[in-house]
Copies of this chain bind each other. A is one copy, B any other.
Amino acid sequence: IAWKGSPQFTQGGKAFKVKGRIQADAGFVSVPGGLDDRGLGFSSEMRRLRLGGEGSLARNLSYKLEFELSDNAVDLVDTFITYRNGPWQVQIGNQNAFWSLDELTGDTSGSVMERAAFTDAFNFERRLGLGMQYGKGPWIAQLGVFTDDPSSLANSSDGVNGGDENNSYSVDGRLVFAPRLGEIQLHLAGSAHWRRLGRLAEASTRYRQRPYAHGTNTRLIGTPAMNVEDETMYGAEMAAISGRWWGAAEYYHLAADRVGLPTVGFQGAYGEVGYFLTEGDSRGYKGGIFTTNAPAHPLDKDGPGSIQVALRYDWLDLNDRDIRGGTQNGYIAALVWSPIQYLRFNVNYALMRYNGAAALPSGERSYDANVVGTRFELDF
């Protein structure tokens, strides 16, 4: 019996552990002068609530099943079976489609409260499918085919949103090169994604983003609804960890093929640098993503826990050709205190600078929003 927030039972190659997660947020988004939107200002919410289990049926055969209660609906998060054989891994079920480093890194392992603006704007999500992985030395190659997220597939309505009429699919790949150079863990990666929306081309597709905080449903920038038949995405990733320091940067480009209209391209990127104020602490890294290390001096051993600070610049550009979705430049400062493993407190400040955003009464489309976010999160 090991202990990872909750007990992990093992017997031969078999294993089992109950999993859960609580994230509670309170935050504030300043209302840009004169904008009449009551969805801004103060908000609080349970950000993510998860319950599930993970285990192994045999030494090379593991599973995960996790429900999430968020936005008053129960959805599926990681829910799959994994088969490992030497350098090969095959995973069937609901899983991330080899997106960007920021999306793949767990939400309780992040450096800032909300992921890069392009990850939501480009609709990254878990999808039902088959993913394969080959890992050798510093290399990891990932390739998969996916349909759609389980809640879309289970939608029982008739028409374009009906789950049984959904015949979208995608092919997604990612290549990671992560050498260890002395004390430095390096991460270089690229990913490519192609999706045929099929029947969904008759539904409307939007690319848009909240002003950093999830507590508001307001989107100050976003494209109009479009009929998209294909999406092609490319991403480039770069990161490094050296002792208490780390840095990360990514760039993503999405090309949306519209039905009967020219293709439009949108893009986003972020760059981040971070540092642990507490000695002996550092960000973890494993399997091509950031992970969380236990605090070197946790509170229950009379230490301060771990304290990390990060600065991030986050950019999103939803303008191309006839589409004027607007642009967003975010400047984010983040503090994370983890008094003990599996428990973290976040305080974030973000200055969001908009161009071509939702118009103020004056007609002005370029303005700033100030965002303060706080979160406690617990994993077991």
Contacts and interface: CB of A to CB of B under 8 A. Distances in A.
Contact of A65 (B22, B43, B148, B166): B22
Nearest to A146: B44
A93 B24 contact: yes
A287 interface: no
A261 to B, nearest CB: 23
B41 A128 contact: no
A342 B300 contact: no
Contacts of A70: 154
Contacts of A218: 164
A194 B158 CA distance: 34
Q: Report, as a range, how many residues of chain A touch the other chain.
A: 35 or more
Interface string A33-69: 0000011111111100101110101111101010101
A94 interface: yes
Contacts of A147: 26, 44
A45 B158 contact: no
A63 B16 contact: no
Interface stretch (A2-10, A135-143, A322-330): A2-10
A288 interface: no
A22 B93 contact: yes
A47 B286 CA distance: 32
A328 to B, nearest CB: 18
A230 to B, nearest CB: 17
A38 B69 contact: no
A13 B3 CA distance: 11
A39 B63 CA distance: 31
Interface in A9-29: 9, 11, 13-14, 16, 18, 20-22, 24, 26
Contacts of A72: 73, 151, 154-156
A249 interface: no
Contacts of A163: 43, 45, 217
A236 interface: no
A65 B164 contact: no
A58 B79 CA distance: 29
A376 interface: yes
A1 B6 contact: no
A162 interface: yes
B165 A39 contact: yes
B16 A9 contact: no
B79 A49 contact: yes
A343 interface: yes
B11 A3 contact: yes
A58 B147 CA distance: 42
A207 to B, nearest CB: 19
A82 to B, nearest CB: 11
A289 interface: no
A128 B44 contact: yes
Contact of A79 (B11, B39, B46, B165): B46
11 contacts: A7-B11, A7-B16, A22-B65, A39-B165, A44-B128, A46-B79, A49-B65, A51-B65, A59-B300, A65-B380, A164-B217
